[in-house]
Amino acid sequence: MTVVEIRNPGLGSARGRIWRSLLRSPLGLTGGVMLAIVMVLGLIAPLIAPYGPAEVHFDAPFQAPGTIGYILGTDDLGRDIFSRMLFGIQVSLQVGFLSVLLAVAVGTPLGLLAGYWRGLDGIISRLTDVTLAFPFLIIAVGLSAISGPSLTNAAIALGIAQIPTMIRVVRGETLRIRETDFVLGAKTMDASGVRIIFSHILPNAVSAIIVQATVIMPVAVIGEALLSFLGLGIQPPTPSLGIMLSDAQQYISRAPTAAIFPGLAIVLICLGFNLFGDALRDALDPTNASRK
Amino acid sequence: MLNYLATRLWQSIVTLILASMVVFFGVRQLPGDPALAMAGEEATPERLAAIREQLGLNESIITQYVKFVGNMVRGDFGQSTRTGAQVTDLVAATLPVTLWLSAYAIVVAVIVGVLLGVIAERFRGRWPEWMANALALIGLSVPNFWLGILAILYLAVAFGLFPASGYVPISRDPFQGIYHLTLPAIILGTSLAAVIMRQTRASMIETMKTDFVRTARAKGLSRPRVLFRYGLRNSLIVVVTIIGLQLGGLISGAVVTERIFALPGFGKLTLDAVFTRDYPVIQAVVLLITVGYILINLAVDILYSVINPRIRVGGKS
């Protein structure tokens, strides 16, 4: 009698390969470095910022970048652009992580349920369609009309808007994994549905969830800036890169750098996540395993 | 095919009903009493009761919902609480601006995106592909409102290539109308172009690997000819799908683009309504965008099944 061992591949066995692949990708590394810089800046913002984000210096408005004491210059109220930018990055990342967390926390279980139990699929897919019918700006408009614009509401609106895609990604993965040999094997051994989902399907869907999270993050960061730019997101005096841009638009021809630096910060965050996410997707894609 | 269309239509109707419920109950969650808002702070209790009666606020929630749907279907969105204008008139005045802007942006995005995608495939591993990839990555990572501000600063104010703001109805003066919308349309289309480029490139690479392309090449068809005949036809399907998927982003983008370029469109109507708490306008705007979004997605799916016969199965997209 031949015994065929069917193992659940999981993520563990591939971990070394994934790291090697990531380290070999110059674009992925660049993205990773950008992210590391941005995250460290965001984390230690209160320690390295020379001034408070809302600290006004009426004697020093419109200082040019490079002025002593104001490395990136000041805005119309003499607020230090460098300090405001650091705190703005912190807020951007907060909103980004909160909305990713919401999308993952709600999208993953619903995606698993929809993919595993066909009976629930119809209901969950209709709910997904309804959510998709509301563009994130409209969700944000609704939330801020009901309970006022705020950081939390911005994060919730951005998170809700991303739940449907997360559900679809996880559902697709679940559909794929539930037909694999090791899941079929577990089924013949009378493993319960819950057990199969948690010990077989979820661990194998994690990589797709992580990749999707790196896709959501830059969308959420740009979304937060957009909402704050329109006055529907973060409210002053809390600094936000979007608010800085909307302020700078008022005196754009007088101090163009006040608009350029916060924009560059957004680009740095998004480029970092996009580059790193692309490399991660390639590294996690098993069809690339044989490629050099 | 008919079966697929019926399923898809049924799904859209269910989505429409659910979405209208979300809007109806959502608006009722808004702070403030609509009767009080209409009557003013000094209204007598009798006057308030009369308005309540007139608005049907005393009836059961189900009757109110049915009336709400009836009014919407007839195109009666009520009056703006701020200006007293009919909401239908406000929508009719602003919607064309946004539709022209979005259509123009989609045209720009499709042309630029497909072209860059084809170039990237044609010159794989060489500098044109790197350039195209870099452009796409920038398009995805740069917020379009920032790009808009920079474009106004450098292209409009410094060099005077385009007007920085203002709107001329295309129906009145087509040339000036299109000229005024060009910069906003490019800005709005950037991220869409980036997504289209990436997908076109990926789909072309896949197509060029297939057996039928190999056969066509073996038959002696030149590479550019195969590229256009097979590669582009397949990427067309991808482009149609992407436009459907990116519509939400396009709508949000249109709102902010209108704000930057001071265009009197639907986005401006939306923002003004939110900041002045003009609930009838908010309700109408949200409902119209949602309905439009569902209908366009239905149209995209139908178009998709027409272009790609492989999709017509079981109603699962």
Q: Domain span at residue B29? A: 15-73
- How far is it, in rounded angstroms, from Cα A97 to Cα A108? 16
Sign for the CA dihedral angle at B86, B88, B89, B93 comes to positive
| Cα A15 to Cα A199: distance, rounded to the nearest angstrom | 18
Q: Phi and psi (nearest 5°) for A117?
A: -105, 105
The answer to whether B246 contacts chain A (CB < 8 Å) is no
Overall average pLDDT of the B143-147 stretch: 87
Cβ of B20: how many Cβ atoms within 10 Å?
18
**pLDDT of A85 strictly over 60:** yes
How many domains is chain A built from?
1
Mean pLDDT across A147-163: 86
Q: Give tens-digit pLDDT for A230-279.
A: 888 888 888 888 888 888 888 877 777 878 888 888 999 998 988 888 88
Chain A contact for B257, CB < 8 A? Answer: no
Which of residues A188 and A99 earns the better pLDDT score?
A99
The reply to whether B154 and B118 lie within a common domain is yes
Q: Does residue A251 lie within any of the structural domains?
A: yes
Question: By a Cβ cutoff of 8 Å, what residues of chain A touch chain B?
Answer: 126-127, 129-130, 132-138, 141-142, 144-146, 161, 218, 222-223, 225-226, 229-232, 245, 248-249, 252-253, 256, 259-260, 263, 266-267, 270-271, 274-275
When the pLDDT of each residue in chain A is averaged and rounded to a whole number, the result is 81
Residue B105 and residue B252 in one domain? yes
Q: Which of A255-264, B86-95, B224-233 has the lowest mean pLDDT?
A: B224-233
Contact in structure between A227 and A242 (CB atoms under 8 Å): yes
Is residue B103 assigned to a domain? yes
Of A56-65, A159-168, A216-225, B294-303, the one with minimum mean pLDDT is A56-65
Q: DSSP H helical segments within B123-173, as ranges?
A: 127-141, 144-151
In a domain, A20, yes or no: no
What DSSP designation does B310 have? Answer: G
Cis peptide before B264 (omega within 30 of 0): no
Q: What percentage of chain B carries pLDDT values higher than 70?
A: 91
- The answer on B60 and B112 residing in a single domain is no
Residues of A in contact with B150 (CB under 8 A): 259-260, 263
Among candidates A249, A252, A271 on the partner chain, residue whose Cβ is nearest the Cβ of B137? A271
pLDDT at A9: 59
pTM, full prediction:
0.81
Tell me if A152 is assigned to some domain: yes
User: B293 vs A135: CB contact, 8 Å cut-off?
Assistant: yes
Where residue B34 falls among pLDDT bands split at 50, 70, 90?
low
The confidence score (pLDDT) of residue A292 equals: 36
Say if residue A106's pLDDT is above 90.
Answer: yes
B205 touches chain A (CB under 8 A): no
Are residues B63 and B117 part of one domain? Answer: no
Domain for residue A3, yes or no? no
Tally of domains in chain B: 2
Domain membership of residue B61 (yes or no) is yes
Q: Is residue B216 part of a domain?
A: yes
Specify if A103 maps to a domain.
Answer: yes
Is B58 in the same domain as B171?
no
- CATH number, residue B280: 1.10.3720.10
- C-beta atoms of A263 and B150 within 8 A: yes
Same domain, B106 and B229: yes
Tell me, yes or no, whether B175 and B205 share the same domain. yes
* pLDDT score of A116: 85
Q: Does B24 touch chain A (CB under 8 A)?
A: no
Choose the closest CB to B18 out of A126, A161, A245.
A126
In a domain, residue B66? The reply is yes
Mean pLDDT for A114-120 is 83
Full domain range(s) for residue A111: 45-274
Short-list B135, B245, B241, CA closest to B190? B135
B64 and B174 inside one domain: no
Count other C-beta atoms under 10 Å from residue A282's C-beta.
Answer: 18
Quick: pLDDT tens for B157-187. 777 777 777 777 777 777 887 888 888 999 9
**Range A108-128 burial, b when 16+ CB lie within 10 A, else e:** bebbbbbbbeeeebeebbebb
Nearest of A84, A86, A50, A55 to residue A68 by alpha carbon? A50
* B178 and B54, same domain (yes or no): no
Q: Counting beta carbons within 10 angstroms of the beta carbon of residue A27, is it exposed (0 to 12), middle (13 to 18) or buried (19 or more)?
A: middle
Does residue A214 form part of some domain?
yes
Task: Tell me whether residue A2 is in a domain.
Answer: no
Give the domain CATH number at A170.
1.10.3720.10
Q: For chain A, state the CA radius of gyration.
A: 23
- Check whether residue B280 and residue B145 sit in a common domain: yes
Cα–Cα distance list, A83 to A34, A56, A77, B53 (Å): 19, 12, 14, 56
Residues B106 and B62 occupy one common structural domain: no
In this prediction, residue B201 carries a pLDDT of 84
Contacts of A248 in chain B (CB under 8 A): 149
A29 and A280 Cβ atoms separated by less than 8 Å: no
**Do the Cβ atoms of B15 and A253 come within 8 Å?**
no
Domain assignment present for B32: yes
* A196 compared with A220, residue with greater pLDDT: A220
Is there a domain that residue A32 lies in?
A: no
State which residue of chain A sits closest to B22, comparing Cα positions: A130
Note whether B177 and B168 are within 8 A (CB): yes
